[in-house]
Amino acid sequence: MASDRRTLLADAALDVLVDEGIRGLTHRAVDRKSAMPPGTTSAYFRTRAALLTGLVTRLVHLDQAELQTMAEELPPLRTVEELVDGMVLLTRQRLTGEGRRRSLARHACAVESVRDPELRAILVPRENAGREAVRMFLTTHGVTDVENRTHTLLTCIDGLVFDRLVNGGEVPREALDGLVAAALR
């Protein structure tokens, strides 16, 4: 029960961050957003640092779950076209609905994490089903420097998504074709 309450509050904290920005993220705002009695958020997350850590931990969990689901639902990535299909799907998810809100939260937290090593340790790119799928694909296609090529590919996609998050529009398939060509060259 306590852990469900923590999750509910962390989700509300994510909503506050997205709707009001990092400045608006206070214990009282999370109480209000979650419709909990005043003081509830403070009882579960004593300090603002604890609240931010709870929020980022929840965000990473949701991101990981999304990538795991995608990996299970998509066919194995055999051709370049299948890889680009997966990347098109991922960028769309990250730019619409709940995914868009998480992308916003992720970037806001990444900016905060530059001054906060504890936050960074939770947020740093880690093993996930998407990364593993790209790594497998590049290995199968004979790329030698798989770690760096995978990291560059995913980091560039993050850059393209962030640009669209701010300026609108979709990530064009053509741009993703180019990144895959660069990874395979």
Q: Is 182 in the site for a second copy (CB under 8 A)?
A: yes
**Residue 144 binds to a second copy (criterion: CB under 8 A):** no
163 binding a second copy? (CB under 8 A): yes
By CB under 8 A, is residue 81 in contact with a second copy?
Answer: no
3-state secondary structure of 161: helix
Would you say 20 or 76 has its CB closer to a second copy? Answer: 20
Give the shortest CB-80-to-a second copy separation in angstroms: 13
Shortest approach of a second copy to residue 92 CB, angstroms?
Answer: 17
Token pair, residue 25, equals: 């993220």
Q: Taking CB under 8 A as the rule, does residue 179 contact a second copy?
A: yes
Indicate whether 50 belongs to the interface with a second copy (CB under 8 A). Answer: no
DSSP symbols for 112-159? HHTT-HHHHHHHS----HHHHHHHHHHHHTT-S-HHHHHHHHHHHHHH
Q: Pick from 49, 68, 124, 126: which binds a second copy (CB under 8 A)?
A: 124
What are the structure tokens assigned to 155, written together?
A: 């980091």
What is the rounded CA–CA span in Å between residue 107 and residue 128? Answer: 18
**Which tokens belong to 144?**
């030698």
The distance of closest approach from Cβ of residue 40 to a second copy in the complex, given in angstroms and rounded to an integer, is: 22
Beta carbons within 8 Å of 77's beta carbon, 6+ residues apart: 83, 86, 133, 136, 137
Residue ranges in contact with a second copy by CB under 8 A: 21-23, 104, 107-108, 110-115, 120, 123-125, 145, 148-149, 151-152, 155-160, 162-163, 165-167, 172, 174-175, 178-179, 181-183, 185
